[in-house]
A and B are shown apart, each in its own frame.
Chain A
Amino acid sequence: MKKLLLLALLFAPVLAEAQTTDDLFDIQRMQEIQLVMSSRDLAEMRENYLDAKYYVADFTWNGIRVRNVGIKMRGLSTRSPIKPGLRVDFNRYIAKQKFLGLHSLILDNALRDPSMIRERTSMAFIEHMGQPASRESFARLYLNGEYQGVYALVEAIDKEYLARNLGENDGYLLNHKYLNGFHAEDLGDDLSEYKTRFEVQTHQLEADSIIYSPVRELFREVNHPVDGAWRSRVSEYLDLDKFVTYLAIENFLSEDDGFLGYAGMANFYLYRRADSNTHRLLAWDRDSTFDRIERSIFERVDENILVRRVLRYEDLRKRYLDTLEQCARAASENNWLDTEIRRVSALIKDAVYDDNAKMNSNEEYDQAVVFLTDFAKRRPEFVLNEVAKARRAMTGSSR
């Protein structure tokens, strides 16, 4: 026994050091996060839950304690004093502090999603399709020792994310902040119009003209009359192939609050390399996916001037339909999507049942999971039919 104890003591630090973000985002097990903060700060944060003020806390995961992290309330429609959605910035107060190499971590309260797994399942699917996506897992969150409920741990889109997904992170990262219905209209010459909608996350000290001129040019070119040069001009500021792929995956997942969202464009980042003016989109906040099984693959495409014009080009429309088909086949192959939904919902079920801060009942949770599994079974077939119809229409029109 003594020898075992000695071995355990010897290896304990090694085991602790060996933990990585793969362990944190390991979806095979339920994680546990402890946040400890001053009770006065906690009361103030709950009272002023609409503010974006940072508070100091100690963060503990799997025996690793990170002191003096910054936490703040996050979310738009999911803001809640009861079950707060939180952003954790490990380097907020200690400039070089990281946690497992991460500068920040999102604790998503999954308040709008009765199944709580739409976000994670969507990100897993985007990754399954070979596109950049945040890693996610689930955790029981304890705030000053009190259980707050089930939270999705979401990898923030930052320099670490860029390096992991794109192999470089020197470029300009811009977070689209939702203000009001924006459908890719030209907002004019004033860069501040873009600055208020796109919050720069890297190169913050650079001049606005350097950061935002390419964004302004993108929307300016999009809104120019379509002529023979429209596509090449827009392509200078947006990678249209990647854009169409992004759009197809989003629509396969029946996203109601994405680029073609119910209230305009929402929930994405723009990224462009430092040596380029060409942007690409990065998916964010997928908790409004799985909206309807029989949602048209062309829903709202006419509402957005960029999408409407892009899909008029035959090769881009074909690419869009091909990607939708690939999504449908990838989702149904070996019941990938259904298996993912069942596995993750089983993992979190007990924690969800214990979660008294959630907005929905346990019965509603069960029903939501049933709906998702139904979606996994029927959505691929529906999309394949829609794609086939669209292809027939394309063939007919080309004759």
Chain B
Amino acid sequence: MKRTLSALVIALSISAPAAAQEIKLAWNDRPSLRVGDWLRVDIRARVQSDVRRSPLDEVRDDTEAARRRVGIEGRVGKFVDYQVEYEIGAGEWRDVYLDYRQFKPVQVQAGTFKVPFGLEETTGITKLDFVYRSSTSSRLAPGRAPGVMVHGKVLKSRLEYEAGIFSRDGDNARPAKSTRVSGEETAAARLAFEPFHGSKREISKLRVGVAATSAALPVGLPSVRAKTAFGAPFFDSDVYVQGRRQRTGLEAQWRPGPITVQAEYIRLTDERRGQAIEGEDLSPLVARGWYISGTYRRGPFEAASRFETLSFGDTSGNTDASTSRRAEIVLGNYDRAITFGVNWYVNRWVRLQANLIREQLLDPTLGPLPERPIFWSRVLRIQVAL
């Protein structure tokens, strides 16, 4: 993070000649500082507050949550974009990167940013159709990590690619203050393709993609854990892993007119080399999830719904499945959730979101409410973003 910030400072210093040029403060949806043609600094800020109601309130004390982020983004010179974002309260730097964009087919981004994996995970929070990302995205996609990425668009923008090396697995897979193990140096790649690009039909707005990550995984209990929409664990991943952590992802999005349909599938495997009782390899711990969602927008209002499933381990009912840390067949659990939502775009800066979520756990005894396999939750969010 310090290296990225230093690079950013150097990049801004290089633009020193700009100091002699005209300095202009503008308002274009948000405050923006422009120094000639050399520097653009857009101020970003976002405040949001959630009010939650759920049976989980009885076991968790987080019925209200607020987030405040500030940052800047813009361009240095002709070819270098940058972004710096900081979360107040949590005291965490979020995206901090430089992006060299001279050539459209080959661009280079360096710093801390989201590993190119997952359609929903790489969508900014102000653009999400629901209050929360699907559990599949927020648990199985890697999230942010420091790294270098090459990306670009080829074949007349029909194909977009991203490929990078990151110093570690993403933040989603490495909870803070955890002693659990996570992926080390991570390679990631993502391809997104618009097969009907250029067509005049609605089908031209179809976009499909694939993605993969691979990382070395040291021995220990894994950091990736199954959690409900409100973050309550329903499978603790208490099995020893070692080897490689690999993800594969499929994604599709179609946006004809006021409608958006989106679907994603992610499979994460943690190898368990040498973890059997007598030192043999065990079959990998498998987590998989998918969702399909749809939205319809009319004026300032948008209706949305999403169906999703996130499962860890074996959920087939195999009687040999075990909860032991060295089980060949890991007794698993799944969460199936349906979310109904309404979004109201009050103006270009303010958005209200209301979601009603129904969740069903295969084995509620592993979850937050051992005697309730099905539970409903609701959440209201107000979001103000510059």
Contacts and interface: CB of A to CB of B under 8 A. Distances in A.
A123 interface: no
Contacts of A57: 277
B319 A93 contact: no
B327 A68 contact: yes
A93 B322 contact: yes
Contacts of A37: 277
B277 A56 contact: yes
B321 A56 contact: no
B325 A94 contact: no
Interface string B276-297: 1111000000000000000000
B91 to A, nearest CB: 35
Task: Give the secondary structure class of B's interface.
Answer: loop
Residue from A36, A38, A41, A68 having most chain B Cβ neighbours under 10 A: A68
Nearest to A97: B322
Contact of B279 (A38, A92, A93): A38
B168 to A, nearest CB: 25
Contact of B325 (A56, A58, A96): A56
B323 interface: yes
Contacts of B277: 36-38, 56-58
A99 to B, nearest CB: 14
A93 B323 contact: yes
A350 B37 CA distance: 94
Nearest to A96: B319
B363 to A, nearest CB: 10
A183 B385 CA distance: 69
Nearest to A35: B277
A217 B26 CA distance: 80
B278 A36 contact: yes
A380 interface: no
B222 to A, nearest CB: 16
Given A94-B320, A94-B321, A56 B327 contact: yes
Contacts of B279: 38-39
B322 A68 contact: yes
Interface string A47-84: 00000000011100000000110100000000000000
A93 B325 CA distance: 9
B49 interface: no
Contacts of B276: 38
Contact of A56 (B319, B320, B324, B331): B324
B324 to A, nearest CB: 4
B326 interface: yes
Contacts of B321: 94
B278 A93 contact: no
Interface string B302-329: 0000000000000000011111111100
A94 B322 contact: yes
A148 B276 CA distance: 22
Nearest to B365: A95
Give the most central of A37, A38, A39, A41: most B CB within 10 Å: A38
B324 A38 contact: no
A103 to B, nearest CB: 15
- From A37, A41, A94, A96, residue with most partner B Cβ within 10 Å: A94
A70 B319 contact: no
A207 to B, nearest CB: 14
B326 A56 contact: yes
Nearest to B278: A36
Given A57-B277, A93-B327, A94-B331, 11 more contacts: A36-B277, A37-B277, A38-B278, A39-B279, A56-B322, A56-B324, A56-B325, A56-B326, A68-B324, A93-B322, A94-B321
- Chain A to chain B: the 6 pairs with minimum beta-carbon distance, closest first: A93-B324, A56-B324, A68-B322, A93-B322, A68-B324, A93-B323
